[in-house]
Structure 1
Amino acid sequence: MDASEVRERAGELPREPGVYQFLDARPGTEDATVLYVGKAVDLRDRVRSYADPRGQRIRRMVERAVAVDFAVTDTETQALLLEANLIKRHQPRYNVRLKDDKSYPLVQLTNHPVPRIEVTRDPEEAATVFGPYTSKREVETVVKALRETYGVRGCSDHKYSGRDRPCLDYEMGLCTAPCTGEISEEAYADDVASVVRFFEGETGVLADPLRRGMEQAAQAEEFERAANLRDRLETVESFHGEGGEAVSSQTDERAVDVLGVSVEGDRATVARLHSERGQLVDRSRHRLDAPGEAEGATGSGEEAGGEVLAAFVAQYYAERDLPDALLLSERPDDPELAAWLDAEGVSVRVPGAGREAKLVELALKNARRRGGGDDELGALAQALGLSRVERIEGFDVSHAQGKAVVGSDVCFVDGSARKADYRRKKLTERNDDYANMRELIRWRAERAVEGRDDRPDPDLLLIDGGEGQLGAALDALDETGWDVPAVGLAKAEELVITEDGVRNWPSDAPHLHVLQRVRDEAHRFAVQYHQTVRDEVRTVLDDVPGVGPETRKRLLRRFGSVENVRTASVSDLTDVEGIGEKTAEALLARL
């Protein structure tokens, strides 16, 4: 759209509050994409201002736009919340948009009558989840200390069920063995409640038993054990950060969130510290795409930070409970946001000194902290001539001479695996790697183009293979019209294959290591699925000496699938009637 077209469209809009959307096709068109979403007190005046946009990025957006759609709201607050919902739904590329950071470790207690405790990055939907936390090592230390103190199980559900004697964890003091009735479910539930209290901020639930154990070990002159407990105690006492200090001096503020923002170019990070009843009990980091010139901001300094915080608060709390107070590193310059928070009774403060200012500084340190993935992903984008490479999808095909042909689609975000976004597919049975890869990429591309895939488009596709596999993938992209860059990674010499030629990067290049991690995970996931499909076709249990039809039925009844049999231990297998140690070892060797 040129300036005259923008003014003409703006003249058709009402002088009322609402939300407007710039589109790259006419409203209602099947392939229309939302480029930008904004809110306005006066729709006509706000859209007319885009006839002469200040920044280059917004100017490019307007030039690409074909139409403007809008929705009128009753109030400015309704416009604020509708804008936040539309941004989260459409993820328009020219908006500041929140990207939930799921790459940090969490602790979950599973939704089971006898819950299991586990450190994970991909929690179960119905689990009780705590975190995220910034250090996996510290989380694992704390979880082990909790298990030694309260005996909460760490085994999988299939290993828990059907046992007739406790496992090694019981002998090591890591579990109280509810599986065999060594502890009642009621008593076990009390121990789980103590674990929950610790993660909710009651540090003494774990620190006090550790301190007593350390003192007893010292009195018994068991100095090595005492030193080990001392180190563990230090980790436990620092686990909740500065949780020992009161976060707020306002006695009626039970829940307080502290937000700090860091903006680097067109990317931003907001760190959130959450307190309940004066103690910090949670911390998280959230990545945002932050077009610096959106809404006319300069893209740097306090203006950009204030804009990012305004976008974050609106989008993050639109679907969550608001705290009693927000402590911010910068004040968002958004009257509608301020009115909404005031109407909801939220106190907004930008502290300049004292305890609250220290907490804001802590949030800023968390926001500015750079992960190892930032530099290597930036180097990868630069090496490939791309603006960014935050989201990578890796593809591989696995089969046995054209039988049980499957494809994998794994996803990495900010350098870490995003297993919730993994996909896999059975493919046509044929012994043709190029045709198989073409079918796999075409399947992914068609789902994306037709809007049937709920994942955002990746910044890069990585194909496991050389020129042939990449060529097949590019053919599929051309046929479907899915505009996503793709490269291949050949195993033999670790050469990066692009449309423009072959790149031979140094073996110690961090950006090469990123691609290798994605490639190896795509391969692992494809082989795993191939084994599962192959086992569905012809159960390999039949080939093991000593395993007849009845024993096979007992194995599958006990473990549920061949895949679970494959991951079982010798002791688990010998628990099944008819399986001795020799047969168990032969079974695992065959699988």
Structure 2
Amino acid sequence: MNAEGVRERATSLPREPGVYQFRTEGTTLYVGKAVDLRSRVRSYADPRSARIRRMVDRADEIEIAVTDTETQALLLEANLIKRHQPRYNVRLKDDKSYPMVQLTDHEAPRIEITRDPDESATVFGPYTSKRQVEVVVKALRETYGVRGCSDHKYSGRDRPCLDYEMGLCTAPCTREIDLESYDEDVTAVERFLEGETGILADPLRREMETAAQDQNFERAANLRDRLETVEAFHGEGGEAVQSTGDERAVDVLGVAIEGGDATVARLRAENGKLVDRDRHTLEAPGSEPGDGTDAIESGGVPAVLAAFLVQYYAERDLPDALLLPERHGDDEVAAWLEAEGVSVRVPGAGREAKLVDLALKNARRNVGGRDECAMLADALEIESAERIEGFDVSHAQGKFAVGSDVTFVDGNAEKADYRRKKLTDENDDYANMKTLLEWRARRAIQGRDDRPDPDLLLIDGGEGQLEAARDALEDVGWEVPVVALAKAEERVVTPDRSLSWPDDAPHLHLLQRVRDESHRFAVQYHQTIRDDVSTVLDDVPGIGPETRKRLLGRFGSVENVREASPEDLQSVSGVGEKTAETIKSRL
């Protein structure tokens, strides 16, 4: 649509408040609000930026909706943006990428972490740290015995499962606990998730103190770490939120911007205490090479706040007060909030300013931190890539075969969740990889692995290793996405294609870190096994542990030491002519 077409369309529009849409072939490109539709639409005949000019050029029609008030236009704009996700608008992404905790609507409710909660479930969250949620849910299950099994495993049982033996469930399935008592435990879990930290922290503290008195210091240290996580779960606000009058609910917002994307962190305080926190990503309008302008960068924090406030609260209850890092600068948004009785403050000092600083820290933690995980999930077309497990095998010509299983959460190594396994000595990388994956899958299926299922499995290798891993998963029946990363060409191998990503792609760097760490961990374990194994070298006079380690490191196996010449043996530090002759005669 050219400038003349825009002016002609504007002439026919009313001078009333409303919403306008630039559309092409039935697709909405841009949604805007206006106090005066005719004047606002006419302004697009002379676009303010290259981005807007491209949008106007692509449009073939302008659709409007008249509203009674400016506030109605504001809310209608927000709803249309969320419905159509227009390419050229700043858009608030859905919360579903963040973990939530749900208690299902069953006779004996189940507790689980999810990103897609059931409509009938009681849901808490979303939360910012999946790892923290996992620790807390496990602590809740150990303390109150709430089940985590699927309906299929729950129904028709005649004896309790392994969770009961491990103290993770009180087995309502076989009525080891009556349903009335079980409901009381579920209520206690709900009270904790609603913000009553002490209902879980107090029994953990007592158990920690008992373990310390019994000199079970390893158990006490584990409980101490868990207690710290539990106490930090509902936010860091030990201080009361400064509020005025009858303000019961206060939301605190922080904004961080990187390039064309922004993150808004929201802290919720009720009755003076922090009870919830979450983060939301706003996507920049569509851009193309050569476009030097960007709606987020050019509008800065005020533009992000104005977009977030309307889109987020259009479908939610407004708080009594909003604490912002700076003014949003939108008169229509200000009028709407004032009409709704919301107090908007930009604190400069005191407790409220500290809360805004905390929200800013939460926002900055998200910018760039989740990007590589989200980009990887998008590139592989999977739901999430926040939790990745990487696998590799190591051996010396089939001897001392071992496998590694490392874990990365939100792009960072989670060393507490590393695992390793001795394998049957076999000079076959494919067979070793299949054995390793079968071991991991069976532990998951049988509930013997205390870690949550990963979002993605990464195999160190190419097509052969990937096929071996897929065969293992299929044999056991564990459905988890799996890919391989071939080191020679840094190709990502999936079940149906091979991908070559740019060398500077953040999501490729993430896979490389996981692959390299799984390789390092496997080699390290292999060397430990190889060096610690008892061999006939132990019986050779003059050969101590260090010399034996150097011999095996130099030759790889006792068989190779046996076949080495005296001259080769003497090349190892600590082996002289006499010792070399002793080794040859004894072996």
TM-score range, shorter chain: 0.5 to 0.7
Contact 1:258 1:274 in 2 (8 A): yes
TM norm structure 1: 0.63
Match status 1:361 vs 2:320: no
Give the direction of change, closer, same or farther, for the CA distance of 1:185–1:302 in structure 2 (3 Å limit).
Answer: farther
Q: Secondary structure at the match of 2:250?
A: strand
Contact 2:260 2:294 in 1 (8 A): no
Q: Give 1:160's aligned residue.
A: 154
Match status 1:304 vs 2:300: yes
Q: Give 2:346's aligned residue.
A: 350
- CA distance in structure 2 between the aligned counterparts of 1:114 and 1:122, rounded to whole angstroms: 20
Match status 1:91 vs 2:88: no
Give the direction of change, closer, same or farther, for the CA distance of 1:299–1:493 in structure 2 (3 Å limit).
Answer: closer
Contact 2:51 2:293 in 1 (8 A): no
CA offset at residue 323 of structure 1?
A: 1.3
Deviation digits for residues 364-418 of structure 1 (CA, Å, limit 9, x no counterpart): 12222235452577xxxxxxxxxxx687375xxxxxxxxxxxxxxx54478789x
Q: Give 1:123's aligned residue.
A: 117
Give the direction of change, closer, same or farther, for the CA distance of 1:305–1:175 in structure 2 (3 Å limit).
Answer: same
Q: Give 2:4's aligned residue.
A: 4
2:212 is aligned, of 218, 222, 229, to 218
Give the direction of change, closer, same or farther, for the CA distance of 1:221–1:513 in structure 2 (3 Å limit).
Answer: closer
- CA distance in structure 2 between the aligned counterparts of 1:148 and 1:416, rounded to whole angstroms: 23
Contact 1:273 1:283 in 2 (8 A): yes
Q: Secondary structure at the match of 2:71?
A: helix
CA RMSD of aligned residues (A): 3.4
Deviation digits for residues 18-40 of structure 1 (CA, Å, limit 9, x no counterpart): 1111112xxxxxx3211111000
Q: Give 1:392's aligned residue.
A: 378
Q: Give 2:164's aligned residue.
A: 170
| Structure 1 residue runs without a partner (length 5+) | 25-30, 378-388, 395-409, 418-464, 467-487, 518-591
Contact 2:128 2:279 in 1 (8 A): no
Give the direction of change, closer, same or farther, for the CA distance of 1:243–1:193 in structure 2 (3 Å limit).
Answer: farther
Quick check: which has more Rg, 1 or 2?
2
Q: Give 2:570's aligned residue.
A: none
1:200 is aligned, of 194, 201, 206, to 194
Give the direction of change, closer, same or farther, for the CA distance of 1:291–1:414 in structure 2 (3 Å limit).
Answer: farther
Which residue identity is paired with 1:351?
P
CA offset at residue 506 of structure 1?
A: 8.8
CA offset at residue 252 of structure 1?
A: 2.1
Deviation digits for residues 88-123 of structure 1 (CA, Å, limit 9, x no counterpart): 111110111111142232222112111111123333
CA offset at residue 46 of structure 1?
A: 0.8
Match status 1:332 vs 2:332: no
2:314 is aligned, of 294, 314, 318, to 318
CA offset at residue 495 of structure 1?
A: 4.7
| Structure 2 residue runs without a partner (length 5+) | 389-461, 464-482, 514-587
Give the direction of change, closer, same or farther, for the CA distance of 1:514–1:2 in structure 2 (3 Å limit).
Answer: farther
Deviation digits for residues 142-178 of structure 1 (CA, Å, limit 9, x no counterpart): 1121112111112211211222222222222221121
CA offset at residue 216 of structure 1?
A: 2.3
Give the direction of change, closer, same or farther, for the CA distance of 1:22–1:191 in structure 2 (3 Å limit).
Answer: same
CA offset at residue 248 of structure 1?
A: 3.4
1:374 is aligned, of 347, 371, 374, to 371
Give the direction of change, closer, same or farther, for the CA distance of 1:489–1:18 in structure 2 (3 Å limit).
Answer: farther
Which residue identity is paired with 2:346?
V
Q: Secondary structure at the match of 1:86?
A: helix
- CA distance in structure 1 between the aligned counterparts of 2:484 and 2:165, rounded to whole angstroms: 47
Q: Give 2:584's aligned residue.
A: none
Which residue identity is paired with 1:220?
D
2:76 is aligned, of 57, 73, 82, to 82
1:108 is aligned, of 76, 95, 102, to 102
Which residue identity is paired with 1:6?
V
Give the direction of change, closer, same or farther, for the CA distance of 1:320–1:416 in structure 2 (3 Å limit).
Answer: farther
Give the direction of change, closer, same or farther, for the CA distance of 1:516–1:116 in structure 2 (3 Å limit).
Answer: farther
The 5 A counterparts of 1:52-67 are 52-67=46-61
CA offset at residue 132 of structure 1?
A: 2.3
Q: Give 2:45's aligned residue.
A: 51
- CA distance in structure 1 between the aligned counterparts of 2:214 and 2:64, rounded to whole angstroms: 75
Contact 2:372 2:510 in 1 (8 A): no
Q: Give 2:21's aligned residue.
A: 21
Q: Secondary structure at the match of 2:112?
A: strand
- CA distance in structure 1 between the aligned counterparts of 2:300 and 2:4, rounded to whole angstroms: 29
Which residue identity is paired with 1:60?
R
Contact 2:284 2:294 in 1 (8 A): no
Contact 2:260 2:284 in 1 (8 A): yes
Contact 1:265 1:292 in 2 (8 A): no
1:190 is aligned, of 175, 184, 193, to 184
Contact 2:98 2:126 in 1 (8 A): yes
Deviation digits for residues 535-580 of structure 1 (CA, Å, limit 9, x no counterpart): xxxxxxxxxxxxxxxxxxxxxxxxxxxxxxxxxxxxxxxxxxxxxx
Give the direction of change, closer, same or farther, for the CA distance of 1:64–1:391 in structure 2 (3 Å limit).
Answer: farther
Contact 1:265 1:299 in 2 (8 A): no
Q: Secondary structure at the match of 1:210?
A: helix
- CA distance in structure 1 between the aligned counterparts of 2:323 and 2:286, rounded to whole angstroms: 23
Give the direction of change, closer, same or farther, for the CA distance of 1:37–1:225 in structure 2 (3 Å limit).
Answer: same
Aligned length: 411
CA offset at residue 201 of structure 1?
A: 1.0
2:255 is aligned, of 256, 261, 265, to 261
The 5 A counterparts of 1:517-532 are none
- CA distance in structure 2 between the aligned counterparts of 1:355 and 1:88, rounded to whole angstroms: 34
CA offset at residue 55 of structure 1?
A: 1.6
Q: Give 1:550's aligned residue.
A: none
- CA distance in structure 2 between the aligned counterparts of 1:299 and 1:315, rounded to whole angstroms: 16
- CA distance in structure 1 between the aligned counterparts of 2:178 and 2:301, rounded to whole angstroms: 54
Contact 2:262 2:296 in 1 (8 A): no
Give the direction of change, closer, same or farther, for the CA distance of 1:40–1:92 in structure 2 (3 Å limit).
Answer: same
Contact 2:261 2:296 in 1 (8 A): no
Which residue identity is paired with 1:224?
E
Give the direction of change, closer, same or farther, for the CA distance of 1:271–1:14 in structure 2 (3 Å limit).
Answer: same
CA offset at residue 198 of structure 1?
A: 0.8
- CA distance in structure 2 between the aligned counterparts of 1:208 and 1:34, rounded to whole angstroms: 54
Contact 1:269 1:286 in 2 (8 A): yes
- CA distance in structure 2 between the aligned counterparts of 1:164 and 1:175, rounded to whole angstroms: 15
Q: Give 1:533's aligned residue.
A: none
Q: Give 1:39's aligned residue.
A: 33
Q: Give 1:479's aligned residue.
A: none
- CA distance in structure 1 between the aligned counterparts of 2:79 and 2:67, rounded to whole angstroms: 14
CA offset at residue 193 of structure 1?
A: 0.9
- CA distance in structure 2 between the aligned counterparts of 1:506 and 1:51, rounded to whole angstroms: 40
Q: Give 2:573's aligned residue.
A: none
CA offset at residue 302 of structure 1?
A: 8.5
Which residue identity is paired with 1:314?
V
Q: Give 2:337's aligned residue.
A: 341
- CA distance in structure 2 between the aligned counterparts of 1:390 and 1:306, rounded to whole angstroms: 30
- CA distance in structure 2 between the aligned counterparts of 1:307 and 1:334, rounded to whole angstroms: 8
Q: Secondary structure at the match of 2:251?
A: strand
